[in-house]
Amino acid sequence: MIFVGSKHCPRCGATVVVPKMTPAEETKCPRCKVLMKSVAIGSANVSECEECLGLWLNVAAFEAICADREQQSAVLGTASPAPAGAVRETSKVNYVPCPQCSQLMNRINFARCSGVIVDVCKGHGTWFDRDELSRIVEFIRSGGLEESRKREKEEIKEQRLKLLEQQRIEARRSILTGRDVDDHRVPAIVSTQGLLKFLLD
């Protein structure tokens, strides 16, 4: 958290970047349905709703923030004044439309374990409700994204080993029962001999 008027982040020392406001390309907030303003956060241009303080990032801008520590510092260093009205907090799940194509976006838990639920349009970008982008940057900086990727690689490795073991068991069964290796119950050709037989038949 950074106080309005601060010149440096009290946590990391990064210089606070004051957002530059320019009119957005007629992009409406998916929640409030009002025109959003274009805001520069670091080198990324994002659209911000002045009503709910939500942010719309295109795919390239979000990838740049996830990959670059300076961009992350800019996100954490951007101070937003408290809204004049009360910010809507709701426990009800609302699917919101993409500001660009108007199709309903998918709600996903960022990195499957961050606890931050964001609205994603695969082709256009991601919608972040107030403070969600800052929470994701904190998650990335604490090593959460690397841990998530490591866990995902381990899950894929385990699934691959289970599949190979299943293929070996099916191959042994086919030999013992006299079934052909190309039987529909064997998920893959598991030996050179089976491959040659398959090609010659």
Give per-residue pLDDT as tens, 110-159: 888 888 999 999 989 999 999 898 898 888 888 887 888 888 888 899 99
**Cα torsion 187, 190, 158, 139: sign:** negative
**How does residue 81 score in pLDDT terms, banded at 50, 70 and 90?**
very low
For residue 79, is it within any domain?
A: yes
Domain boundary among 93, 110, 142: 142
For residue 89, is it within any domain?
A: yes
> Could you tell me the residue range of the domain that residue 179 belongs to?
147-200
- Is the confidence at residue 50, as pLDDT, over 60? yes
CA-to-CA distance for 144 and 155, rounded, in angstroms? 16
Say how many domains are in the chain: 2
For residue 13, is it within any domain?
A: no
pLDDT value, residue 79: 45
The answer to whether residues 27 and 125 belong to one domain is: yes
The answer to whether residues 164 and 127 belong to one domain is: no
The answer to whether residues 132 and 158 belong to one domain is: no
pLDDT value, residue 22: 41
For residue 153, is it within any domain?
A: yes
Please state the φ and ψ torsions of residue 172, each to the nearest 5 degrees.
-65, -45
For residue 11, is it within any domain?
A: no
Domain boundary among 108, 142, 176: 142
3-state DSSP call for residue 179?
coil
